[in-house]
Structure 1
């Protein structure tokens, strides 16, 4: 997926990106792939490979490291 993603949802915990403190989510995301689509909050299919990761949302496509 190309272009900037406007995050409405936290891609780690799935909660609203503008509510609460997501400092722990940001720290965790330095080491792990996203779990939720930041546009629609759907749980994504994540594949972790030695060279990186891919996360696929059925609505918004693939994100990768």
Structure 2
């Protein structure tokens, strides 16, 4: 029997905690308003390198690459 661990796990991009169905995770107020970029990777929960500029932001996970506010339509 083969078990794949972590394939469908998701993490909160603002707190880094694993998302558990049925359990509410507190989101910082600035993040809820869309004023804060994600600080943690949603796929693995690792802390990301984040660069904020006047017109947007980008964040880089060492395992999963870069996400950019321009690609998400947030600029």
Q: What is the number of residues matched between the two proteins?
A: 59
Q: Which has the higher contact order (CA 8 A, sep 6+)?
A: 1
Higher helix proportion: 1
Greater C-alpha radius of gyration: 2
Could you say what the CA RMSD is over the residues aligned between the two structures, in angstroms?
A: 2.1
TM-score (norm 2): 0.67
Render the CA deviation track for 1:31-62: whole Å, top value 9, x for unaligned: 11000000011100000001100000010000
Alignment of 1:1-65 (within 5 A): 8-18=10-20, 20-22=23-25, 24-25=26-27, 27=29, 28-29=31-32, 30-65=34-69
Distance in 2 between residues matched to 1:16 and 1:51, nearest whole Å = 30
After the TM superposition, list the runs of 4 or more consecutive aligned residues in structure 1 that deviate by more than 2 angstroms.
Answer: none
Residue ranges of structure 1 left out of the alignment (5+ in a row): 1-5
